[in-house]
C-alpha cells in the first residue's frame, strides 16, 4: 500500500489585506508514493511546488482535496482535514521537514544543533555528539567550526548544518524544500549520497531540486506540476 496518496489537491490563497484577493496556488495535483520511494516535485517557478510541500506538512491548509497518510497500524490520516492535535502528533512521530534556511537560536554550537534530534530520540548525549561530528565532517564542515554557532557561517555551510540536523534522525517521511540550493557540485553530491542512504533505510521522501542531474539521481518518480503527470526520468 502507498505511504502517501495525494488526490485532487487544490489551493487558492486569499489575501485578506487586499480585500480577499484570490491567488492561484496549485490545482489538480495527484500523486502517490510507496515506503522508501523518493518523489520530486518539478516545474516552472510559481506553480506551487513549495506550497504543496507545505500542505503536506500542514504549514499551509488546502482549499480542497485529500492527502492520505497511511500509518503502519493500518489506519490513515487525511492531512488536509486532520485537526491540530493530530497534526502535531504526525510531525512529532512521522514527518520531518527540511526548509531551505537554517533557523536556530543564538549561541548554540553546530554540533549541539545537529545532535539534538538524536538526543530527542533517546540517544545518549555522548553518542549523539559523536554522530553529529561524523555527519558534519561528511558534509565538509571544517572542524574548527564545530563548536561555534552557525549564525556566522557562510550560506552553504548553514545549509549543510540545516540538512545535517534534518536528516540525522529521520522519521518515516522527510520533506525537502531545495536542500541543495546554495551548494556547490561536490557538496550537492555529498548530500545526495546521504539521502540515497536514508532511502535505503526505508525513509519516504518528497523533495524539490533546481539541479536536474541531482533530481534524477535521487528520484524514483518526478511529478510534473505543469503537465500534472509523472515525467519520464532519463
Ligand X SMILES: Nc1ncnc2c1ncn2[C@@H]1O[C@H](COP(=O)(O)OP(=O)(O)OP(=O)(O)O)[C@@H](O)[C@H]1O
Q: Please report whether residue 47 would count as binding ligand X according to CB under 6 A.
A: yes
Question: Per CB under 6 A, which of residues 27..46 are in contact with ligand X?
Answer: 45-46
Q: Please report whether residue 50 would count as binding ligand X according to CB under 6 A.
A: yes
Other C-beta atoms closer than 10 Å to the C-beta of 104 total: 18
Q: Measure CA 42 to chain center.
A: 14
Q: How far apart are CA 47 and CA 26, in angstroms?
A: 6
Q: How far is the CB of 100 from ligand X (least distance, A)?
A: 9
Q: How far apart are CA 220 and CA 38, in angstroms?
A: 5
Q: Please report whether residue 101 would count as binding ligand X according to CB under 6 A.
A: no
Give the bridge partners for 38, in sequence order. Answer: 205
Dihedral of the CA atoms 104, 110, 116, 118 (nearest 10)?
Answer: 140
- Percentages (nearest 5) of helix, strand, coil residues in the chain: 40, 25, 35
Among 31, 38, 51, 104, binds ligand X (CB under 6 A): 51
Q: How far is the CB of 5 from ligand X (least distance, A)?
A: 20
**Binding-residue total with ligand X (CB under 6 A):** 11
Among 8, 13, 71, 88, binds ligand X (CB under 6 A): 13
Q: Please report whether residue 25 would count as binding ligand X according to CB under 6 A.
A: yes
- Cβ-contact 91, 98 below 8 angstroms: no
- Cβ-contact 79, 91 below 8 angstroms: no
- The interface region with ligand X, picked from 48-56, 70-78, 118-126, 183-191 by CB under 6 A, is 48-56
Among 3, 42, 49, 160, binds ligand X (CB under 6 A): 49
Q: Sheet of 21-33: strands edge to edge?
A: 21-33, 4-15, 64-70, 76-78
Q: How far is the CB of 114 from ligand X (least distance, A)?
A: 26
DSSP code at position 60: S
Q: Which is nearer to ligand X, 8 or 127 (CB)?
A: 8
Q: Which is nearer to ligand X, 181 or 198 (CB)?
A: 181
Q: Read off the C-alpha cell for 148.
A: 561555534
Question: Per CB under 6 A, which of residues 67..96 are in contact with ligand X?
Answer: none
Q: Which is nearer to ligand X, 49 or 131 (CB)?
A: 49
Q: Please report whether residue 212 would count as binding ligand X according to CB under 6 A.
A: no
Q: Which is nearer to ligand X, 25 or 207 (CB)?
A: 25
User: Residues in the site for ligand X, rule: CB under 6 A?
Assistant: 13, 15, 23, 25, 45-51
Amino acid at each position: 500500500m502507498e505511504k502517501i496518496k495525494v488526490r485532487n489537491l487544490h489551493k487558492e490563497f486569499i489575501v485578506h489585506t487586499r480585500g480577499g484577493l484570490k491567488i492561484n496556488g496549485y490545482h489538480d495535483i495527484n500523486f502517490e508514493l510507496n515506503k522508501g520511494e523518493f518523489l520530486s516535485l518539478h516545474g516552472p517557478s510559481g506553480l506551487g511546488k513549495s506550497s504543496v510541500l507545505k500542505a503536506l506538512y500542514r504549514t499551509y491548509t488546502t482549499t480542497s482535496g485529500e492527502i492520505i497518510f497511511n500509518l503502519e497500524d493500518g489506519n490513515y490520516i487525511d492531512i488536509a482535514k486532520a485537526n491540530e492535535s493530530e497534526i502535531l502528533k504526525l510531525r512529532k512521530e512521522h514527518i520531518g521537514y527540511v526548509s531551505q534556511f537554517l533557523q536556530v537560536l543564538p549561541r548554540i554550537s553546530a554540533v549541539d544543533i545537529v545532535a539534538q534530534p538524536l538526543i530527542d530520540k533517546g540517544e545518549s548525549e555522548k553518542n549523539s555528539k559523536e554522530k553529529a561530528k561524523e555527519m558534519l565532517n561528511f558534509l565538509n564542515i571544517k572542524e574548527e567550526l564545530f563548536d561555534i554557532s552557525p549564525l556566522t557561517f557562510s550560506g552553504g555551510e548553514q545549509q549543510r548544518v540545516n540538512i545535517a540536523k534534518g536528516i540525522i534522525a529521520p522519521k518515516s517521511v522527510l520533506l525537502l524544500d531545495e536542500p541543495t540550493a546554495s551548494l556547490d557540485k561536490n557538496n550537492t553530491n555529498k548530500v545526495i549520497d546521504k539521502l540515497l542512504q536514508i532511502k535505503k533505510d526505508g525513509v519516504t521522501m518528497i523533495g524539490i531540486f533546481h539541479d536536474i542531474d541531482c533530481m534524477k539521481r535521487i528520484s524514483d518518480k518526478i511529478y510534473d506540476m505543469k503537465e500534472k503527470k509523472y515525467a519520464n526520468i532519463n
